[in-house]
Structure 1
Amino acid sequence: MDKMLYVAMSGASQNTLAQQAHANNMANVSTTGFQRDLEQARSMPVFGDTFASRAYAMSERPATDFSAGALQATGRDLDVAVGGDGFIAVQAPDGSEAYVRTAAMNIDAQGILRAGNGLPIMGNSGPIAIPPDEKIDVGSDGTISIRGMGETPNAVAQVDRIKLVNPPVGSLTKGTDGLIHTTSGQAAPFDANVKVESGFLEASNVNAVEEMTAVMTLSKQFELHIKMMTTAKEDDESVSRVLQNS
């Protein structure tokens, strides 16, 4: 009886956490560049002073789905998205290097090129600074070219190059800040094979139908756990009445 109640209780608790993971994916179905969190459940033995004869359910987020989302045309020159495998390097708030799949870039008042989330875009030797310009272009290899103020149309100067990387997926993790980081904490090297598409943003790779189905399934499982706890309570009360009458 005690084991049944414990398993059902732990299952309901972990089931709620699983629903939160899928709900977060659903909430970001329209967030550009968002990569969905995977979720799974498994049984774990309860270790302690006695033999581990009991088990409980545990929900966990084992990894992130790094598959690419669909490219959405914006027609804006400073909107870029990685075409195929790879990432764009940005400077995280703590000063370390992090990675994104797409960036709606803009130039701030100091001339620093920033992603849509406000983080500086990394170049050959740090955050990219853009001089005053009349026009800016981003090449497929990440090269940033500008036409300076008052210059003729053919006077194009290369300013810097966006750092594009493609580390093994197994060496990456998504942090609580929503950015991609290397598990080692070390910056990934440049990869000349990574290309970007200018005038595009990458949509979220969340499948709304799959996430909604998962939430509904987990909701039914939660109801089953509650029913098991109610049954355990009724069985316990029945046993108590039998003992009282004996």
Structure 2
Amino acid sequence: MDRLVYTAMTGARHVMEQQATVSNNLANATTTGFRAQLDTFRAVPVVSEGLPTRAFVVDSTVGSDWRAGPIQTTGRSLDIAIRDQGWIAVQSADGSEAYTRNGSLKITENGILQTTSGQTVIGDGGPITVPPDTNVSIASDGTVSVIDNNFQPGPANTLGRIKLVNPDTKTLLRGDDGLFRIADGTVAQADANVRVVDGALEGSNVNPVDSMVNMISLARQFEMQMSLMKNAENNAAKATQILALS
């Protein structure tokens, strides 16, 4: 009887964890460059001195859906979208290098090029500083150029090139801040083959319809696990009554 309770209990707990993951994905269905999180579970026998008569559920893998999201044209000069595979290198809050697909950029009061989330964009020579009163343009290879508004038409001045990388997705680990990093702490090298689309943003790759269907399926699975534990409780109560009569 306790085998049924153990399996149902661990199954229900991990269904709740998966429900939280699906809810987070659904909440980020409109987040720029978001990658859906994937959870996989498997049954593992409990190893002890006795026979392996019990099993519980554990997380098998926690990964991400690496499919690209839809590219939406915005016409804004500071919006860029990664074409196919690749990442934008940014400086996270702790100073380490991280990677994102969110190409919605801004210029701070000090002229530093950052993402709208506040991470500084890493260039080939460090942070990219944009002088005031200029028009910014970003080429397909990530080169940032400006034209002085006081001298139009005028020559374009190159400020630097955004660091674009393309590490193996198997080595990437999602952080609590939503940014990706290489699991062993190393830094990815710039990849000249990565290209960006200016004046566009990449949408989230989360399918809201699939997420809603998945949430309904998980709710039914949770109810099934609860029903199993209820049946185990009823069976235990009846067994106790029989033993009391004997």
Query: What TM-score results when the alignment is normalised by the length of structure 2?
Result: 0.96
- For the residues of structure 2 that align with 1:48 and 1:174, how far apart are their CA atoms? 34
2:181 match: secondary structure: strand
- For the residues of structure 2 that align with 1:52 and 1:151, how far apart are their CA atoms? 79
Deviation at 1:62, TM superposition (A): 2.2
Q: Deviations over 1:128-156 (max 9, x none)?
A: 11122421110000001111252232321
More off after superposition, 48-57 vs 136-145: 48-57
Deviation at 1:65, TM superposition (A): 1.0
Deviation at 1:209, TM superposition (A): 1.4
Q: Give runs of aligned pairs for residues 215-226 of structure 1, distance below 5 A.
A: 215-226=215-226
1:103 match: secondary structure: coil
Deviation at 1:53, TM superposition (A): 2.9
User: In the alignment, which residue of structure 1 is the partner of 2:85?
Assistant: 85
Asked if the contact 1:103/1:115 (under 8 Å) is kept, the reply is: yes
Q: Deviations over 1:67-100 (max 9, x none)?
A: 1100011110001110111011100111111111
One-letter amino acid of the structure 1 residue matched with residue 195 of structure 2: K
- Aligned residues: percent identity? 40
User: In the alignment, which residue of structure 1 is the partner of 2:100?
Assistant: 100
- TM-align CA RMSD: 1.3
Aligned length: 246
Q: Deviations over 1:32-91 (max 9, x none)?
A: 111000111211222345444311122455211121100011110001110111011100
- For the residues of structure 1 that align with 2:95 and 2:136, how far apart are their CA atoms? 26
Asked if the contact 2:165/2:191 (under 8 Å) is kept, the reply is: yes
User: In the alignment, which residue of structure 1 is the partner of 2:130?
Assistant: 130
Q: Give runs of aligned pairs for residues 1-246 of structure 1, distance below 5 A.
A: 1-59=1-59, 61-246=61-246
One-letter amino acid of the structure 1 residue matched with residue 62 of structure 2: P
1:146 match: secondary structure: strand
- Structure 2 stretches of 5 or more lacking a match? none
Deviation at 1:215, TM superposition (A): 1.0
More off after superposition, 2-11 vs 41-50: 41-50
One-letter amino acid of the structure 1 residue matched with residue 82 of structure 2: V
2:127 match: secondary structure: coil
One-letter amino acid of the structure 2 residue matched with residue 139 of structure 1: A
Q: Deviations over 1:105-125 (max 9, x none)?
A: 111111100101111001012
Asked if the contact 2:87/2:165 (under 8 Å) is kept, the reply is: yes
- For the residues of structure 2 that align with 1:126 and 1:48, how far apart are their CA atoms? 55
Asked if the contact 1:17/1:59 (under 8 Å) is kept, the reply is: no
- Structure 1 stretches of 5 or more lacking a match? none
Query: What TM-score results when the alignment is normalised by the length of structure 1?
Result: 0.96
Asked if the contact 1:91/1:122 (under 8 Å) is kept, the reply is: yes
Deviation at 1:20, TM superposition (A): 0.5
Deviation at 1:21, TM superposition (A): 0.6
